[in-house]
Structures are given as C-alpha cells and as structure tokens.
Amino acid sequence: MNRLEQQAELLNDLVLINNDRMEGYRKAQEELKPEDNDLAVLFQDRIEQSRMFHTELVGEVARLGEQIATGTKTSGKIYRAWMDVNAFFGGSDRKVILDNCEVGEGAALRAYDSALEADYLAPDQAAMVLRHHAEIKASHNRIKSMRDAL
C-alpha cells in the first residue's frame, strides 16, 4: 500500500467514526425527555460538528483520488445497540444518556489518538486531525462534567 492509500484508509476510518458520532447523537436525542432541551441543543451541536469534520475528511480523501467510505463502523453499530438495551433497562434519564454519550466520545478520541500516531499523514492532514481531536476532547470533557454533576 502506498503512502496516499495509507492516508486515505486512515482518513476514511475517521469518516466512519464521525458517521458513528452523528448516529449516536441522533439515537441519544430520541431518548430525551421534553425537559431535556439543553441536551437536545448540545447533541445537535455535536451532530453538526461531526458533519463538518466529515465534510473536511471526505474532501481530503477525494483530493487523494481514493474511494470515500460510507456507512458506520461495526463498533458504532454495537455501541448503538448497547444504547438501546441500556435505555430499555436503565430508562432514559439524563445520567444514562450522558454516560452513553461519554462512552461514544471516548471511542472517537481513541480513534483520533490512533490516527495521530500515524507517521504517514501529510502536515495539513495531521493538523486537521489534531484540530478535530481537540474539539472532540473538549466535547468529551463537557459531557463528562455534565454527567458527573448529576
């Protein structure tokens, strides 16, 4: 596999991670109660953030002339199924929802951590991945703080 193919494969993994994030937050929105408007706004912001990241990543993969990944990762599907089970047995209270979102953000962070360890990204690609990572980390920390405050 040549360097451009390696870059595209790694960036496509992040495309899928952001697809997972969008689906996870959509699922979390479905579990909210009417009085959880603050979380609805927060989750919509995270969906928009992932949509922006997705657009940037897809643009870079296309620039490399490689096929763009679609769908979600298997781990994301498992995570969403776990959210369904957790909501069924644990109810859909704020703490459970925020806990599930924190798990998802942790998974996204691990994927971005792994991407940042790659030595074959171009400097502009690495800068983009680092920026995404910083924003996801801030989101993770905010969600964790909100959950811990309950």
Between 142 and 27, the higher pLDDT residue: 142
Q: Provide the token pair at 25.
A: 């937050």
Cα→Cα distances 139→8, 9, 62, 150, Å: 26, 25, 28, 17
pLDDT exceeds cutoff 70 at 48: yes
Backbone angles phi, psi at 92, to 5 degrees: -120, 50
70-126 pLDDT, tens digit per residue, is: 988 876 665 555 556 556 555 578 999 999 899 999 999 999 999 999 999 999 999
Segment 45-53 shows an average pLDDT of 99
Residue 71: its pLDDT value, please? Answer: 87
CA distance 125 to 26: 28
Q: Which domains does the chain possess?
A: 3-148 (1.20.1260.10)
Segment 1-26 shows an average pLDDT of 95
Other CB atoms within a 10 A radius of the CB of residue 97 amount to 28
